[in-house]
Amino acid sequence: MKPILVFLISLLTLHSSLRAADGPNVLFIAIDDQNDWIGCMDSHPMVKTPNIDRLAARGTLMANAHCQAPLCNPSRTSLMVGLRPSTTGIHGLRPWFRDVPQWADLVSLPQHFADNGYQTYSNGKIYHSVRTQPASEPNPEFQNWGSRGGVGSRPPAKLIPATPFGNHPLMDWGVWPDNNDDSTKGDYDVASQAIRMIEEMPKGKPFFLAAGFFLPHVPCYATQKWFDLYPDDESILPEMPEGDRLDTPRSSWWIHWSLPEPRKRWLDENDQQVNLVRSYLASTSFVDDQIGRILDALEAAGYADNTIVVLWSDHGYHLGEKSITGKNTLWRNSTRVPLIFAGPGVTAGQTSSKPAELLDIYPTLVELCGLPKLDHLEGLSLAPQLRNARAPRDRPAITSHNQGNYSIVTEEWRYIHYVDGEEELYDIVNDPREWNNVAAENPERLAELRKWIPKVDNGPVAGSGARVLTYYDRQPVWEGKPIGKDDPIPHDNK
């Protein structure tokens, strides 16, 4: 090697190790399918999440944060590479973005940290697809792999009656294990291994440590003590007005046309509405407890003051609202997510109502940790709002679900545009549950919000599949099957 090149490389190495030595650590906590039923988010009056609430109290809650897609793979891909689903064309549960030649070499968030002198660690579900990679592989997503996470201990048979659309094994909920032992659960192991890493990792280099929890994703299994936090009656149910979908277009059904998640009608017919909501709440409180274990370990190891903690969920979840369970919608229940930052550069104890996107996490962490900026990222740094919750932000939060379906959220409105041109509008200040579609009465508002629909609106990339809707020549096609103009809505609640 030429001496000048060696010199340049050592200079670069020195530069990044110097920067890394100065940077704060990052604790990156992901929750799967966790909607806004979090104590500090004031959405469910009974939910108990004391550990997430104490994190929010020492940081900033972005209370108007939304996912980029209401589905694991597109949401997580977008967050981890900093590009919208409408840019990457990753709309379904397939493909893994590294298998798309155009995106194979994108520098992901943890890779950018590794490139700048951080040691990176992963536990549980961070990406949708990748689990572990051998250390020999070039450019791994993370350098160190811990817990696989996931469901963990499962009952010998499903706890609930057979569900429609094929009795999917994940569609289940209830008390499990039945011996009050949490330690056989995947999420318990995620926390345990993250704690072990905090305790054992070498000092002298900052860390980027990820912990991804699987619950409250279905199957919502939790032990009895978490169920005991919630009454076994209808007082735990969210408000669900009759006929809430009568003022929404038929195309709102296309984006969740036929799915394993049961409709509300099935919950009612099988007396499962209370059981599902209670199982979901129990699972949320159990995950909160695991998060508390990690936060305690961070503190005990002396890292609390020089670590940025970010907590997020990949999208929300319906539990009967708008006649369905699951995700795959453009309403609040699917798009609004917990997003909390705490640590150096973040003001403690404040809540911001400015729109925020999960896409913003990447540029925010880059700025807070002083890493080189990457020009191609489509998010905006939230550092101004993390310093001062009222700092201006003009851009709304934009969610898409398959090509051409968008939701645009400002501080006052949610606008929805479906691929066939149908629209909805909600006054989220006076109607936060989005019960009254006021699109017809507000043509000027529609015109103003329509402008935010991304100009780049790419369809599904080659290899796309699972929960993919296409629409060409006015023909909606759900998972490869055309939806007829007069086809009845499968398992509709009416």
So which residues are the catalytic ones? Answer: 72, 128
Interacting span for Ca ion (CB under 5 A) from 25-33, 188-196, 303-311, 382-390: 25-33
Q: Beta strand 207-213 with 307-313: parallel, antiparallel or unpaired?
A: unpaired
CA angle 41, 42, 48 (to 5 degrees): 85
Question: Which member of 26, 27, 61, 72 binds Ca ion (CB under 5 A)?
Answer: 72
Identified binder of Ca ion from the candidate list 23, 25, 28, 32, rule CB under 5 A: 32
What φ, ψ does residue 95 adopt, rounded to 5°? -90, 175
Closer CB to Ca ion, 33 or 189, in the complex = 33
CB of residue 241 vs Ca ion: minimum separation in angstroms? 7
Choices 68-76, 117-125, 222-230, 369-377; region in contact with Ca ion by CB under 5 A: 68-76
For Ca ion, which is the closer residue by CB, 435 or 452?
435
d(CA 30, CA 183): 20
State the Cα–Cα distance between residues 79 and 415, nearest whole angstrom: 22
Min. distance of Cβ 315 from Ca ion in angstroms? 6
Does 269 engage in binding with Ca ion (CB under 5 A)?
no
CB nearest Ca ion: which residue? Answer: 72
Query: What's the min distance (Å) between Cβ of 237 and Ca ion?
Result: 18
Site string for Ca ion, 203-222 (x = CB under 5 A): --------------------
Residue 206, classified by CB atoms within 10 Å of its CB into exposed (0-12), middle (13-18) or buried (19+), is buried
Query: Does position 79 bind Ca ion by CB under 5 A?
Result: no
- Count of residues in contact with Ca ion, rule CB under 5 A: 7
CB of 71 vs Ca ion, minimal distance in Å: 7
Q: Answer yes or no whether residue 33 interacts with Ca ion by CB under 5 A.
A: yes
Nearer to Ca ion, 117 or 316 (CB): 316
- φ, ψ for residue 320, nearest 5 deg: 120, -20
**What is the smallest separation between the CB atom of 435 and Ca ion, expressed in angstroms?**
5
- At 236, give phi and psi (nearest 5°): -90, -5
Nearer residue to Ca ion within complex by CB, 244 or 288: 244
Distance between CA atoms of residues 10 and 8, nearest Å:
5
User: What does each C-alpha distance from 115 to 208, 229, 274, 371 come to in angstroms?
Assistant: 12, 44, 48, 10
At its nearest, how many Å lie between Ca ion and the CB of residue 106? 21
Q: Which 239-258 positions form the footprint of Ca ion (CB under 5 A)?
A: 244, 247
The CB-of-246 to Ca ion minimum distance in angstroms stands at 6
- Tokens at 419, concatenated: 């691929």
Shorter beta-carbon distance to Ca ion: residue 33 or 288: 33
Distance CA(165)–CA(478), nearest Å, equals: 14
Point out which span in 45-53, 132-140, 236-244, 350-358 binds Ca ion (CB under 5 A).
Answer: 236-244
Residues in contact with Ca ion, shown as a per-residue x/- string from 451 to 470 under the rule CB under 5 A: --------------------
Nearer to Ca ion, 209 or 215 (CB): 215
The interface region with Ca ion, picked from 71-79, 170-178, 331-339, 443-451 by CB under 5 A, is 71-79
Using CA atoms, how far apart are residues 205 and 198, in angstroms rounded to an integer?
Answer: 13
Residues 298-317 touching Ca ion, rule: CB under 5 A, are 314
Q: Where along the sequence are the contacts to Ca ion (CB under 5 A)?
A: 32-33, 72, 244, 247, 314, 435
